[in-house]
Copies of this chain bind each other. A is one copy, B any other.
Amino acid sequence: MPKRVDHGERRGEIAEALVRVAGRRGLHAVGMRDVAAEAGVSLRLVQYYFETKEKLLLFGLEYLAERFGERVAARVRAAGPSPGPRATVEALLMAALPVDEESRTFHLLYTSYAVLSVHDRTLAAQPFIRNPDAAEEVVSELLRRAHESDRLASGLDPRLEAAGLLAMSAGLGTSILVGQRTPESAAEVLTHHLDRIFGARDGDTCAHDTSAHDA
């Protein structure tokens, strides 16, 4: 046999090219030729490693979700050794906010895929719809743990609060994306809401400044 190329690696490079060009020009404006040019390969090669555009897009979504999952996990780990529930949740949600180019791209493409999935059965069946469910499970569990150690505000349903928290975070992310809100004001809204969910009394590794508190 000839050259023996690692298909997985090559597919990853092409998928990354897809994500880059889609983040730059929008997913709707991305064609096979654009991806090929961005990856520095010929159109034929993109066809070779992904038979069809649909499969390329599907793999791109996988790739995107995986990369972003790693990012969030890294940010949570960076929150310090054995952080409290509050710090963990805060790191999780803050890492998901579109503040830099990478997270902006993720938010944009994820939303694009979500919109497409409404009328595309193949996309709708993709696990990216289970990803938020997993996140909700994690946050819910963290809140439950905080509740048991009595670090939660009184009478809160961890499951409902987790759902609300994630929805708010996603909504704030979209607001940032379209330029309606600055990352700072979004973070402020989120922090205040966390203050109310948790007692807002414990330090808990978290450090948000009380200065500069206006609109």
A residues with CB within 8 A of B: 24-29, 108, 111-112, 114-120, 124, 129, 132-133, 156-157, 159-161, 163-164, 166-172, 174-175, 177-181, 185-186, 188-190, 192-193, 196, 215
CA distance A196 to B27 in the complex (A): 39
- Chain B residue numbers with a CB within 8 Å of A27 are 115
Q: In this complex, what residue of B is CB-closest to A200?
A: B155
Contact among B26, B168, B178, B180 with A164 in the assembled complex (CB-CB below 8 Å)? B168
Q: Which residues on B sit within 8 Å (CB–CB) of A186?
A: 167
Query: Which residue of the partner chain B has the closest CB to A28?
Result: B28
Q: Which residue of B lies closest to A213 (CB)?
A: B157
Of B108, B132, B175, the residue contacting A180 (CB under 8 A) is B132
Instruction: List 4 tightest A-B contacts by C-beta distance, closest first.
Output: A167-B171, A171-B171, A170-B171, A168-B168
Determine how many copies of this chain the complex contains: 2
Chain B residues within 8 Å of A167, by CB = 167-172, 174-175, 186, 189
* Residues of the B chain whose Cβ atoms lie less than 8 Å from the Cβ of A192: 157, 160-161, 164
A52 → chain B closest CB, angstroms: 17
Q: Give the Cβ gap from A97 to chain B, nearest Cβ, in Å.
A: 11
In the bound complex, do residue B179 and residue A164 qualify as a contact, i.e. CB atoms below 8 Å apart? no
Q: Write the nearest CB–CB distance from A31 to chain B, whole angstroms.
A: 13
> Chain B contacts of A129 at CB under 8 A?
178-180
Q: Which of A29, A116, A168, A190 has the most CB of B within 10 A?
A: A168
Q: Is the CB of A181 within 8 A of B193?
A: no
Chain B residues near A193 (CB-CB < 8 A): 160, 164
- Taking a contact as CB atoms under 8 Å apart, the answer to whether A178 and B117 are in contact is yes
